[in-house]
Structure 1
Amino acid sequence: MPRPDVSEERRAQILDAALRVFARQGLYETRMDDIVAESGLSKGALYWYFKSKDAIITAILEQLFAGSMGGLGALAESTEPADACLAALAAGIAEDIAATAQLRPVLFEFYAIAGRDEGVRQFLKGYYDTFLAAIEATVRRGVAEGTFRPIDSAAAAAVIVAAFEGLLLLQIIDPAPGDLGPRFVAAAELLFAGMRV
């Protein structure tokens, strides 16, 4: 059997199809055959790229969190005051959330799976460990530069991440308040105001 073309475009086609099916049917109800039908590819082509639904889920998680990881890299390299860096990170996360609003229910299914699946849990833990470390380092830098008062940088990082995640969860429970972006920015400013000298 000839080898299918290996391309990022084909891989993206499969992931986009999987996201549409997951959003429509949920993660547990979706079968590989559903993703095959949605993608318009053959079953062999799909399995060439992804051996299982779990592999697709992991790839989607990596894709969803890639933007935030880029923002964390910029955070570490920035020479701007720490509070400005964290405010820019919050605004960037808000933009990412707005751009992927239709995927929010799927994202929370991933969180539910993390309670039962070690692979997904380890992926999310790795992401959160990186996220916490970057914010903690920025808070520590803010204390050193005199932007923030002397505070426990690890505790501050945990509170910032918890506030962002809590807003996401509230949006799933009650989407009525509207656009999440401004609420993210407002929450960040309230937190940083309490941290500043």
Structure 2
Amino acid sequence: MSPKVTKEHKDKRQAEILEAAKTVFKRKGFELTTMKDVVEESGFSRGGVYLYFSSTEEMFRRIIEAGLDEGLRKLDESAENRNVWDTITSYLDGLTEGLRGAADTLAPVQFEYLVTAWRNEERREYLEKRYDLFVTRFSKLLQKGIDQGEFQPLQPLATITKFFLNVNDGMIQNALYFNEDKADVSGMAEAAKLYLKTVLQVNQT
């Protein structure tokens, strides 16, 4: 078997295991999910699963990384075909729409994982690295807007990005905990746009 086929087989098997893990995480949450659960859900042997993943923590991190990387990639690709301001507002509109079914996604599990990170030093350090990655990448996107003459920010880009991230997480949290009217995700999205438009001094001419 050629190395290329071997890699394709490995990637396919890992993807299948992660899909099984997602199903269990959604059903049981992060803390209660065991490797045995994932083995049973995947239909593979115990050794077949452990060949690729040593723990549910490793699986969940891979899922988190894939989601964040995909989201950042889509933002970058969107900014290639339109201005940065339109990319950001389009993201917020998409988030508003996507959160209508938030309870049935991995979002509640991610919050569970985040909430327990404070008591796990290794996990906290891992999440800090992912946070720093988002701040760096989104700040770079804002810098592109500056370079294109769209923005003249009133605050440091890292500060704007961190505020945006907090609003983003707040929208998700409200969508998980409250009904649609109380969560007011669309209202929060519009407020985020107003803040960003003001602090970035968006030039739409």
Instruction: Confirm whether residue 38 of structure 1 aligns to residue 37 of structure 2.
Output: no
TM-score w.r.t. the length of structure 1 is 0.78
Deviation at 1:95, TM superposition (A): 6.4
Query: Which residue of structure 1 aligns with residue 110 of structure 2?
Result: 107
User: Aligned AA for 1:83?
Assistant: W
Instruction: Confirm whether residue 116 of structure 1 aligns to residue 98 of structure 2.
Output: no
Describe how 1:45-194 pairs up with structure 2 within 5 A. Answer: 45-74=48-77, 78=80, 80-91=82-93, 93=95, 101-143=104-146, 145-152=148-155, 153-177=157-181, 182=186, 185-194=189-198
RMSD: 3.1
* Alignment coverage as a number of residue pairs: 192
Structure 2 SS opposite 1:115:
helix
Distance 2:135 2:198 in 1: 19
Distance 1:176 1:13 in 2: 33
User: Aligned AA for 1:31?
Assistant: T
Distance 1:16 1:180 in 2: 31
User: Equivalent of 1:14, from 2, 14, 17?
Assistant: 17
Distance 1:146 1:172 in 2: 38
Instruction: Report the CA distance shift for 1:24/1:146 in structure 2 as closer, same or farther (over 3 A).
Output: same
Distance 1:123 1:72 in 2: 23
Instruction: Report the CA distance shift for 1:89/1:134 in structure 2 as closer, same or farther (over 3 A).
Output: farther
8 Å Cα contact 1:139-1:156 kept in structure 2: no
Deviation at 1:90, TM superposition (A): 3.2
Identical residues among aligned pairs (%): 27
Distance 1:178 1:20 in 2: 28
Distance 2:39 2:144 in 1: 49
Structure 1: runs of 5+ lacking an equivalent: none
Q: Decide which moves more: 100-109 or 177-186.
A: 177-186
Deviation at 1:185, TM superposition (A): 4.5
Structure 1 SS opposite 2:150:
coil
User: Aligned AA for 2:193?
Assistant: E
8 Å Cα contact 2:171-2:185 kept in structure 1: no
Deviation at 1:99, TM superposition (A): 7.8
Instruction: Report the CA distance shift for 1:45/1:180 in structure 2 as closer, same or farther (over 3 A).
Output: farther
